[in-house]
Amino acid sequence: MQLWEAFALFGGGLVAGGINAIAGGGSLITFPLLVAMGLPGVAANVTNALSVAPGYASSAVASRPDLVGQGRRMLAVVPTIVVGALCGSSLLLFTPRSVFEAVVPFLVLTAAMMMAFQKRLKALAGSPKDNTPRKTAIQLQVVFFLCGVYGGYFNAGMGVLALAAVSLVLDEPLRRISALRNVFAAVVGITTVLLYSAFGPVDWLSVAVLAPATVIGGYTGARIARKLPQEVLRWTIVVFATGVAIALYLT
């Protein structure tokens, strides 16, 4: 790795960590960087997943004020997230990627549209306030399992997808849902680190450069997200996620 490549990766990691904390989709920056440096697609995806995982963890730590009162909820969904992430990671390592890569842009765009039309969708689906605690708990399990599979298979956009889906289930301010999303991303990240470290084609030098940068960017981004008005945060996510979908489709 040349010096300019190391600087490019570190800078990309800073930006990606912040974007992941605020909106999700920061891997759209780091994944193409790794490919541009000559890594094959699967190796770049695996290396990227390991690199951004510490940033997810730092975002979750920085989101602690908005996680107050959500402890039981987190404990209930963590095992489901782990199982989903293991399924997704196994699919990436042991099956062809061509079919899933074809639908990824549309999944991310769907997530963006879910955020854009969140109020209308909630009106059609019924207010989360009308749900019984049991119904809400079941819906959360399903949502986090499916998002875990997605995140374990292809990292980019998983935060946007999770945020959009959980917003339809929980009657909570977006900042609190975003904090829960950060925990989800951290759990997926830790799970994929364990599996990819053992079985994936990891470029450890790139991880050593990217990981510290995503930690700094993730912690800073989460603190910024807490100060953004809810509508500003929502439309920031919509705009960035739409850009992610277009870029994924074009690449």
pLDDT at residue 23 tops 80: no
Q: 81: pLDDT confidence band, cut at 50, 70 and 90?
A: very high
User: What pLDDT is recorded for position 245?
Assistant: 78
Mean pLDDT for the chain overall: 82
In DSSP notation, 92-144 reads: HHHS-SHHHHHHHHHHHHHHHHHHHTHHHHHHHH--GGGS-HHHHHHHHHHHH
User: What pLDDT is recorded for position 191?
Assistant: 92
What is the average per-residue pLDDT within 113-124? 70
- Token pair belonging to 98: 């061509």
Q: 143: pLDDT confidence band, cut at 50, 70 and 90?
A: very high
Decide: helix, strand or coil at residue 229. Answer: coil
Residue whose tokens read 């997530």: 111
What is the average per-residue pLDDT within 119-131? 63
- Token pair belonging to 114: 């879910």
Residue whose tokens read 């470290």: 197
Q: 242: pLDDT confidence band, cut at 50, 70 and 90?
A: confident
**pTM for the full predicted model:** 0.77
Range in 43-52, 68-77, 117-126 with the lowest mean pLDDT? 117-126
Q: What angle do CA 73, 55, 223 make, to 5 degrees?
A: 75
120 contacts: CB under 8 Å, gap ≥ 6: none
pLDDT at residue 125 tops 60: no
Residues 203, 12, 165, 58, CA torsion sign: positive
pLDDT at residue 165 tops 80: yes
The helix or strand, by DSSP H or E, that contains position 77, with its residue range, turns out to be helix 71-94
Please give the distance of CA 76 from its chain centroid, rounded to a whole number. 19
Structural contact between residues 214 and 20, judged by C-beta atoms closer than 8 angstroms: yes
Put residue 23 in one of left, alpha, beta given phi > 0 → left and psi -120 to 50 → alpha.
Answer: alpha
Range in 16-20, 46-50, 89-93, 207-211 with the lowest mean pLDDT? 16-20
Structural contact between residues 74 and 137, judged by C-beta atoms closer than 8 angstroms: no
What is the average per-residue pLDDT within 210-230? 79
Structural contact between residues 242 and 111, judged by C-beta atoms closer than 8 angstroms: no
Q: What angle do CA 62, 63, 68 make, to 5 degrees?
A: 130
What is the average per-residue pLDDT within 101-125? 73
The domain segmentation of the chain, as residue ranges, is 3-250
pLDDT at residue 121 tops 80: no
User: What pLDDT is recorded for position 66?
Assistant: 85
Q: 141: pLDDT confidence band, cut at 50, 70 and 90?
A: very high
Q: Please, what is the end-to-end C-alpha distance for the chain in angstroms?
A: 24
